[in-house]
Structure 1
């Protein structure tokens, strides 16, 4: 057998001839080809995984998050106009735009809000009558009846009714009157709701239901007045003293909760009946002032800010609730007044 040929021959005599038998041997392993294909396949699979992971991240993140990632991997030079780092990923967003020290990578956002109400009014010093102007209205608010457009429309109607002899001063006066009336109407509605909330808070509490007849809530020219009246069997304060009862504490807690829903200033006044003290002792002036001050403390404990307290006054028996019966227990009372923000008109009914 010749080495390297991969076959061998055998010669054998049989008779006169010679028989030659040739056998081929299949070669074994053709040598080790190596594992380079495995490394290439692993790199391919890794690249595909990274690609699909990137696609998933792009789909699962918001625009702001992607912008933050781009800014993190694209560091900036705050003193320059051009971005440092490589590339402009994610749609070309860059930390800096054209212009000195300008950047769009900060958290400041400018959004378009509703268009304001604009009135085209022209100042004219002449005495010529006012002419109608075009009015552009913005989006309507919750209370459609109180929009500035309606107020100005009422002002225009009031001014146009004066005829050609009307002046700018007349129109301005009519506008001011219409505006005052509208503000007064809205304020009356707010105070009506507050009065109803106070009455409901007292009536819905079983512990205070019996005091419903001893609380009086009404609107007066100065604002909304809440009066706590004494009863023959259910006094609000200790007889001859300023210590409030437990029911008064609970009642003023309900009142304070309602007062905290608005921003009106508060005036507190104490009153007594005409029963005098012994000579040399304290007077009804002292008693009424002490009860008013005790009421102030209970309101502030209920959350009413001290800055909203306008005054704390004691009027003794000088303003009785029932003048024909100065000894009546109802004359012993404390008044909490929510002051109007809009002054009443001169011809307002008392």
Structure 2
């Protein structure tokens, strides 16, 4: 059998490349890692450079960016009890509807000074809304309306002040006593429920006129303090949390409402201040300073209701 010698053999050549390009996936992973580390070190820097109060303000703002504690500034998809959301900024049984919220400017960095400013703005908005509510209730409430001329409401540097003053032939307490009149108790109970709608703490002060009580063992100092404490018990009975009370003080006749007539019945009053955050902090700092010096005054009676 003849063999065809013209047929060439088939040669297979293998080419093996050494080294070469591995792709760019590692660059993406490294960029993600660098971004995460930068965010982590920025967080550490912020935590180390802010005070406890500023950290509390940051936490309060991002957990609840609203004017009133516990109420979201915009409605969620789920409405009703337990959802943490209501269709308006504040709902005091239909008393106030402040409409859609004003969006806050987006924060590009956690600036402590800006957060302090936001906290002050929230404080001011809360107290302004509470003042408007109380003024409406003075006209609408069967309990408060008859005593409208004895309830004085205004904004002072320390916060929202509500003064319950005596009137000739219509005092808030029994004569020379810390026993509340029935209508005074009703007024304070209703105020307690309204004040509890905001997170701010309160300061209570009692005042008398300049008429002496006629005894050395029991003076206007004791009377004014006990009247302030009686007011505290009535507020708590009306639904205000007991831990909202920051101070109960009696001033006797040393801070008259009517300086021209120390015996004017209007000087007999209870002054309630819903304090701003700054006023509350200042009060604590003052108390801590006195305590460190051993000069803290004896606390007012604080027996539970």
TM-score (norm 1): 0.49
> Out of 261, 277, 302, which is 1:325 matched to?
261
The alignment status of 1:205 with 2:141, answered yes or no, reads: yes
Q: Larger % of strand: which? A: 1
- Check 1:194–1:329 CA distance in 2 against 1; reply closer, same or farther (3 A cut): same
Contact 2:143 2:187 in 1 (8 A): no
The offset of 1:340, in angstroms, is: 1.8
The alignment status of 1:194 with 2:130, answered yes or no, reads: yes
Structure 2: runs of 5 or more not aligned: 1-37, 46-71, 75-99, 283-305
The alignment status of 1:147 with 2:104, answered yes or no, reads: yes
The offset of 1:200, in angstroms, is: 1.9
Report the Cα distance in structure 2 between the residues aligned to 1:299 and 1:206, rounded to whole angstroms: 18
Secondary structure, counterpart of 2:277 in structure 1: coil
- Check 1:281–1:342 CA distance in 2 against 1; reply closer, same or farther (3 A cut): closer
- Give the ranges of 4+ consecutive aligned residues of structure 1 lying more than 6 Å apart after TM superposition: 119-122
Contact 1:252 1:298 in 2 (8 A): yes
Secondary structure, counterpart of 1:282 in structure 2: coil
The offset of 1:207, in angstroms, is: 4.7
The offset of 1:201, in angstroms, is: 2.0
Instruction: Map 1:33-112 to 2 at 5 A.
Output: none
Report the Cα distance in structure 1 between the residues aligned to 2:248 and 2:149, rounded to whole angstroms: 25
Deviations 1:49-72 (A, max 9, x none): xxxxxxxxxxxxxxxxxxxxxxxx
The alignment status of 1:248 with 2:205, answered yes or no, reads: no
> Out of 229, 249, 252, which is 1:293 matched to?
229
The offset of 1:287, in angstroms, is: 0.7
The alignment status of 1:231 with 2:167, answered yes or no, reads: yes
The alignment status of 1:265 with 2:201, answered yes or no, reads: yes
Report the Cα distance in structure 2 between the residues aligned to 1:251 and 1:144, rounded to whole angstroms: 32
Secondary structure, counterpart of 1:304 in structure 2: coil
Structure 1: runs of 5 or more not aligned: 1-118, 126-139, 156-171
The alignment status of 1:183 with 2:119, answered yes or no, reads: yes
Contact 1:268 1:311 in 2 (8 A): yes
Contact 2:206 2:225 in 1 (8 A): yes
- Check 1:214–1:324 CA distance in 2 against 1; reply closer, same or farther (3 A cut): same
Contact 1:269 1:336 in 2 (8 A): yes
Report the Cα distance in structure 2 between the residues aligned to 1:284 and 1:343, rounded to whole angstroms: 27
TM-score (norm 2): 0.56
Report the Cα distance in structure 2 between the residues aligned to 1:267 and 1:248, rounded to whole angstroms: 18
Q: Which residue of 2 aligns with 1:216?
A: 152
Report the Cα distance in structure 1 between the residues aligned to 2:73 and 2:238, rounded to whole angstroms: 33
Q: Which residue of 2 aligns with 1:314?
A: 250
Indicate the structure whose relative CO is greater, using CA pairs within 8 Å and at least 6 residues apart: 2
Contact 1:218 1:224 in 2 (8 A): yes
